[in-house]
């Protein structure tokens, strides 16, 4: 079940990153790399501009945009990024609205993917086409309500981090759902996809929602935040998320050994 769980998580993250890729490409951003997995490269091929790679560890993926972070000359040389690119090819130079659409695209793709999965489930059950569309949309709406209510209960103190599962706990959950059949597992994957989409839209540093919040703040104050300030904000957000992930992982382990 560990391999299946890692595969599910990787698919959902790659779907998310593909959303960023599509819209960034649409707005002319130079995309340095689109990777499946993390860690050392085991395969890569450079297209017209973008390097497409498969990395050693099947735990997600990423879409690296030019100008998304402070320029690293070694990375630019490694990927043979031209020195004479037009400034409009840099993500950082895009208009606020375009940045927001690029950031929102990841979560949007997770919602679309979840809808597609539920569509397949209802089709397989032999439901009529009009009803399939309605039921699929209804299911996504229900998932959103349940997930948002869970976050509200967490912030209100009615739930604790012990009530949430991370990747380790998800292994056990995948096994449980799989026992009830493939269709049940597909519904669970759709739920996780919606959860990933909503989570990434939270206005928290290091998440897409946090980046969207920063763009909106810059739009309101009519001033760009300095790269140093952005770096500090994102670093703090990343550290907090990492600590939360560690806490949830520890809780997962204790649940499994009890």
- Residues spanned by the domain of 199: 2-27+94-257
d(CA 46, CA 53): 8
**Does residue 32 belong to any structural domain of this protein?**
no
**Does residue 42 belong to any structural domain of this protein?**
no
Q: Is 197 left (phi over 0), alpha (psi -120 to 50) or beta?
A: alpha
Residue in this structure with the two tokens 């649409």, named with its chain if needed: 26
Work out how many domains the chain is built from and give that number.
1
**Does residue 47 belong to any structural domain of this protein?**
no
d(CA 28, CA 203): 26
What digits encode the pLDDT tens for the residues 149-202? 887 887 777 766 666 666 666 666 777 777 878 898 899 899 989 989 998 998
What digits encode the pLDDT tens for the residues 49-93? 999 999 998 888 999 998 887 656 777 787 888 888 888 898 988
- Supply the pTM of this predicted model: 0.88
**Does residue 222 belong to any structural domain of this protein?**
yes
**Does residue 46 belong to any structural domain of this protein?**
no
**Does residue 7 belong to any structural domain of this protein?**
yes
**Does residue 43 belong to any structural domain of this protein?**
no
d(CA 114, CA 108): 10
Task: Annotate 98-134 with b (16+ C-beta within 10 A) or e (fewer).
Answer: bbbbbbbbbbbbbbebbbebbbebbeeeeeeeeebee
Q: Which residues are catalytic?
A: 17
**Does residue 62 belong to any structural domain of this protein?**
no
């Amino acid at each position: 079940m560990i391999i299946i769980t890692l595969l599910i998580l990787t698919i959902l993250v790659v779907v998310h990153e593909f959303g960023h890729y599509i819209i960034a490409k649409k707005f002319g951003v130079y995309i340095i790399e689109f990777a499946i997995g993390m860690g050392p490269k085991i395969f890569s091929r450079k297209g017209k501009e973008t390097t497409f790679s498969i990395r050693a560890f099947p735990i997600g993926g990423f879409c690296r945009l030019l100008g998304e972070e402070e320029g690293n000359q070694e990375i630019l040389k490694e990927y043979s990024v031209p020195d004479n690119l037009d400034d409009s090819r840099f993500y950082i130079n895009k208009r606020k609205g375009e940045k927001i659409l690029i950031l929102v695209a990841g979560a949007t793709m997770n919602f679309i993917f979840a809808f597609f999965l539920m569509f397949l489930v209802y089709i397989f059950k032999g439901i009529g086409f009009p009803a399939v569309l309605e039921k699929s949309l209804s299911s996504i709406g229900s998932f959103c309500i349940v997930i948002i209510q869970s976050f509200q209960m967490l912030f209100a103190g009615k739930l604790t981090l012990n009530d949430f599962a991370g990747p380790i706990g998800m292994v056990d959950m995948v096994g449980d759902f799989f026992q009830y059949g493939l269709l049940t597992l597909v519904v669970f994957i759709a739920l996780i996809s919606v959860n990933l989409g909503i989570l990434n839209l939270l206005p928290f540093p290091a998440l897409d929602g946090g980046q969207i919040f920063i763009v909106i703040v810059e739009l309101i104050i009519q001033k760009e935040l300095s790269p140093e300030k952005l770096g500090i904000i994102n670093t703090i957000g990343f550290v907090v998320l990492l600590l939360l992930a560690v806490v949830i992982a520890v809780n997962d382990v204790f649940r499994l050994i009890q």
